[in-house]
C-alpha cells in the first residue's frame, strides 16, 4: 500500500482532533473535515494537518456567508505560516471555484 496516496478524513471535533493528533504522530496524512468556522481552521492550521475541508454550501444553508468564511480560513492558515491546504467542499455553483481562486 502506498501511504503517500492515502489521506484520512477526520471531523473537526474534540474527539476528531485528538484522533488526528495521534494519527499524525504515525505520519498519517490528515484532512480535518466538516469545518464550519474560522476557529476550526485555526485549530487545523495550528496542528499542521495537510488539509482542512470547509463545507461552503452547508455554511450558506445555515445562514453564514460560506464564501467569506472560506476566505477567512485561508487568511488564518496563511497568517500562521502553515502548510495546511484548504479543500473547499459542497460547492454548488461553478463560478464559486473561480471566485475562490482569485481570492
Name every residue whose Cβ is closer than 8 Å to that of residue 25 and which is 6 or more positions away in sequence.
none
Q: Is 18 one of the annotated active-site residues of the chain?
A: no
Residue 60 backbone dihedrals phi, psi, to 5 degrees: -60, -40
Q: How far is CA 8 from CA 54, 58, 74, 93, in A?
A: 15, 21, 21, 27
Please tell me which residue in 9, 18, 64, 68 is annotated as part of the active site: 9
Scanning the chain, the segments in alpha helix (DSSP H) are: 14-25, 38-47, 56-61, 66-80, 94-102
Enumerate the active-site residues: 9
Amino acid at each position: 500500500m502506498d501511504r503517500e496516496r492515502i489521506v484520512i478524513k477526520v471531523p473537526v471535533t474534540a474527539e476528531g482532533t485528538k484522533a488526528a493528533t495521534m494519527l499524525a504522530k504515525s505520519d498519517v496524512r490528515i484532512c480535518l473535515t466538516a469545518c464550519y468556522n474560522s476557529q476550526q481552521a485555526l485549530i487545523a492550521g495550528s496542528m499542521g494537518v495537510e488539509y482542512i475541508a470547509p463545507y461552503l454550501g452547508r455554511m450558506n444553508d445555515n445562514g453564514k456567508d460560506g464564501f467569506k468564511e472560506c476566505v477567512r480560513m485561508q487568511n488564518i492558515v496563511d497568517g500562521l505560516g502553515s502548510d495546511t491546504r484548504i479543500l473547499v467542499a459542497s460547492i454548488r455553483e461553478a463560478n464559486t471555484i473561480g471566485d475562490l481562486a482569485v481570492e
